[in-house]
Structure 1
Amino acid sequence: MSETSQVPTKPVAVPRGIAALVGANSALPVWRNELGGLTFRIDGQRYLKWAPADEPELDLAGEAKRMTWARQWVRVPHVLEQGADEEGAWLITEAIEGRSAVDPRWVAEPETACLAIGQGLRMLHDTLPVTECPFDWSVEHRKVRAREEIGPPPPVDAVVCHGDACAPNTLLAEDGAVAGHVDLDALGVADRWADLAVAAWSTEWNYGPGYEQTVYRGYGIEPNPERIAYYRRLWDIT
Structure 2
Amino acid sequence: MTSLSFTNVPPPDHPVPDPVRAAAGGRPIVPVWYNEAASTFRLGAGPDARYAKWAPAGSDLDLAGEAARMRWAGTYVAVPQVLEQASNAEGAWLITAALDGEMAVVDRWKQDPATAVRVIGESLRTFHDALPVAVCPFSASAEERVAEAERNADSRAHRTLHPDFAGRTRAEVLKRLADIPPVDKLVVCHGDTCAPNTLLTPDGRFAGHVDLGALGVADRWSDLAIATWSTTWNYGDGWQEPLLDAYGIAPDPERTEYYRLLWEVGP
In the superposition, the TM-score normalised over structure 2's length comes to 0.84
Deviates more, 1:26-35 or 1:1-10: 1-10
| Residue range with higher mean Cα deviation, 139-148 or 186-195 | 139-148
Q: Tell me what 1:95 maps to.
A: 98
Q: Distance in 2 between matches of 1:218 and 1:65?
A: 29
* 2:63 is the alignment partner of 1:63: no
State the 1:115 CA deviation. 1.0
CA distance in 2, matches of 1:79, 1:204: 31
Counterpart in the other structure of 1:154: 181
Contact 2:84-2:94 at 8 Å conserved across structures: yes
Higher relative contact order (CA 8 A, sep 6+): 2
Q: Tell me whether 24-33 or 84-93 shows the greater mean CA deviation.
A: 24-33
Q: CA deviation at 1:20?
A: 3.7
1:74 and 1:21 map into 2 onto residues whose CA distance is: 26
What is aligned with 1:22? Answer: 24
Q: Which residue of 2 aligns with 1:73?
A: 76
Task: Provide the rounded CA distance (Å) in 1 between the counterparts of 2:75 and 2:230.
Answer: 28
State the structure with more CA Rg: 2
Q: What secondary structure sits across from 1:233 in the alignment? A: helix
Partner of 1:124: 127
Give how far 1:153 is off.
1.3
Tell me the residue number matched to 2:117.
Answer: 114
Deviation at 1:184, TM superposition (A): 0.2
1:162-181 equivalences in 2 (<5 Å): 162-181=190-209
5+ residue gaps, structure 1, are: none
> What value does the CA root-mean-square deviation take over the aligned residues?
1.6
Asked if structure 1 preserves the Cα contact closer than 8 Å seen for 2:23 and 2:95, the reply is no
Name the count of aligned residue pairs.
Answer: 236
1:40 counterpart residue number: 41
Letter of the 1:229 partner, please give it: E
TM-score (norm 1): 0.94
Counterpart for residue 157 of structure 2: none
Confirm or deny: 8 A CA contact 2:3 2:230 kept in the other structure.
no
Tell me if the contact between 2:12 and 2:31 (Cα under 8 Å) persists in the aligned partners: no
Find the partner of 2:231 among 200, 203, 206.
203
Q: In the superposition, relative to structure 1, how do residues 25 and 12 fare at CA in structure 2: closer, same or farther (>3 Å)?
A: farther
- 1: CA distance, partners of 2:79 / 2:237: 29
